[in-house]
Structure 1
Amino acid sequence: MPANFDREVARVVAEIDDIEKKAFDQKAITTLDRQGQIRTLGKLLIFDKNLSVHKNEACSFCHTPNTGFTGPIESLNQSAIAYPGSVRARFSNRKPQSYMYAAYAPVLHYDALQGDLVGGNFWDMRASGYRLQSPNAEQAQAPPTNPVEMGLPDSACLVYRLSQASYRRLFETVWGQDSFSIRWPANVERVCSTPAPAPGSDPYPVHLNNSDRARADRAYDGFALAISAYEISPEVSPFTSKYDFVQTGRAKFTAQEALGYSLFRGKAQCNACHRDGGPGEEPLFTDFTASNLGVPRNPDLQIYFEGGTDALGYKPNPDGQRYVDPGVGGFLRKSRSLSGQSNPDSSWTPLATQFESKFQVPTLRNVDMRPSPEFVKAYMHNGYFKSLQEVVHFYNTRDVLPICTPEHPGEKLSCWPPPESSVNVNKKQLGDLGLSPQEEAAIVSFLKTLTDGYQTDSTAH
Structure 2
Amino acid sequence: MARRWRLAFFLAILSGSIFAFSGPVDAQPMSRAQARERANMLAALGAELFSDPQLSNSGKSACASCHDPAHAFAPANALSVQLGGRDLAYPGLRAVPSLKYLQAVPQFTEHYFESEDEADESVDNGPTGGLTWDGRADSARAQARIPLLSPFEMGNASPDEVVRHALDGGYGPKLAAIYGKSLLANRNATFEAVLKALEVYQQSWQTFYPYSSKYDAWLAGKVELTPEEEHGRKLFEDPEKGNCASCHFSVRANDGTPPQFTDYGMIALAVPRNPAIPANADPAFYDLGLCGPLRTNFLGRPDYCGLFRTPTLRNVATRRAFFHNGVFHTLKDAVAFYATRDTDPGRWYPRRADGSVEIYDDLPARYRDNINMDPPFGGKQGDAPRLDDGEIDAIVTFLNTLTDGWKAR
| TM-score of Structure 1 vs Structure 2, range by shorter chain | 0.7 to 0.9
Q: Which residue of 1 aligns with 2:198?
A: 227
Please list every run of 5 or more consecutive structure 2 residues that lacks an aligned counterpart in the other structure: 1-35, 113-122, 352-356, 379-384
Q: CA–CA distance in 1 between the matches of 2:295 and 2:392? A: 38
Query: Structure 2 vs 1, CA of residues 427 and 407 (structure 1 numbering), >3 Å: closer, same or farther?
Result: closer
Question: Equivalent residue of 1:110, what SS?
Answer: coil
Give yes or no for contact 1:404–1:417 (8 Å, CA) kept in 2: no
2:67 is aligned with 1:63: yes
2:387 is aligned with 1:444: no
Give yes or no for contact 2:163–2:187 (8 Å, CA) kept in 1: yes
Q: CA–CA distance in 2 between the matches of 1:235 and 1:324? A: 35
Displacement of 1:406 in angstroms is 5.3
Query: Structure 2 vs 1, CA of residues 439 and 87 (structure 1 numbering), >3 Å: closer, same or farther?
Result: same
Please list every run of 5 or more consecutive structure 1 residues that lacks an aligned counterpart in the other structure: 1-31, 130-134, 182-214, 306-319, 335-342, 371-376, 409-414
Q: CA–CA distance in 1 between the matches of 2:198 and 2:181? A: 19
| Fraction of identical pairs, as percent | 31
Write the mapping of 1:17-166 to structure 2, written as runs, cut at 5 A: 33-74=37-78, 76-77=79-80, 81-111=81-111, 113-127=123-137, 129=138, 135-166=139-170
Q: CA–CA distance in 2 between the matches of 1:228 and 1:117? A: 24
Q: Which residue of 2 aligns with 1:412?
A: none
Q: CA–CA distance in 2 between the matches of 1:40 and 1:429? A: 45
Q: Which residue of 1 aligns with 2:210?
A: 238
Q: What one-letter code is carried by the residue in structure 1 that aligns with 2:247?
A: C
Query: Structure 2 vs 1, CA of residues 448 and 139 (structure 1 numbering), >3 Å: closer, same or farther?
Result: same
**Cα distance per residue 1:389-418 (max 9 Å; x no partner):** 00111111111114368577xxxxxx9953
2:374 is aligned with 1:428: yes
Q: Which residue of 2 aligns with 1:209?
A: none
Q: Which residue of 2 aligns with 1:23?
A: none
Query: Structure 2 vs 1, CA of residues 332 and 325 (structure 1 numbering), >3 Å: closer, same or farther?
Result: closer
User: What CA RMSD, in Å, does the superposition of the two structures yield over aligned residues?
Assistant: 2.3
Q: Which residue of 2 aligns with 1:363?
A: 312
Q: Match for 1:279 among 230, 241, 254?
A: 254
Displacement of 1:115 in angstroms is 4.6
Q: CA–CA distance in 2 between the matches of 1:435 and 1:333? A: 35
**Cα distance per residue 1:48-97 (max 9 Å; x no partner):** 101111211111111102222112223x34xxx33333432211101101
Displacement of 1:386 in angstroms is 0.9
Give yes or no for contact 1:42–1:227 (8 Å, CA) kept in 2: yes
Query: Structure 2 vs 1, CA of residues 405 and 388 (structure 1 numbering), >3 Å: closer, same or farther?
Result: closer
Q: CA–CA distance in 2 between the matches of 1:364 and 1:114? A: 23
Question: Equivalent residue of 1:418, what SS?
Answer: coil
Q: CA–CA distance in 1 between the matches of 2:50 and 2:337? A: 35
Q: Which residue of 1 aligns with 2:118?
A: none
Give yes or no for contact 1:39–1:226 (8 Å, CA) kept in 2: yes
Displacement of 1:165 in angstroms is 2.5
Give yes or no for contact 2:288–2:305 (8 Å, CA) kept in 1: yes
Displacement of 1:222 in angstroms is 2.1
Q: CA–CA distance in 1 between the matches of 2:293 and 2:126? A: 15
Give yes or no for contact 1:82–1:302 (8 Å, CA) kept in 2: no
Question: Equivalent residue of 1:438, what SS?
Answer: helix
Q: Which residue of 2 aligns with 1:385?
A: 328
Query: Normalising by the residue count of structure 1, what TM-score does the alignment of the two structures yield?
Result: 0.70
**Cα distance per residue 1:399-453 (max 9 Å; x no partner):** 1114368577xxxxxx995341152111124324611222111110111111001
Query: Structure 2 vs 1, CA of residues 165 and 91 (structure 1 numbering), >3 Å: closer, same or farther?
Result: same
Q: What one-letter code is carried by the residue in structure 2 that aligns with 1:60?
A: A
Query: Normalising by the residue count of structure 2, what TM-score does the alignment of the two structures yield?
Result: 0.78
Q: What one-letter code is carried by the residue in structure 1 that aligns with 2:360?
A: P
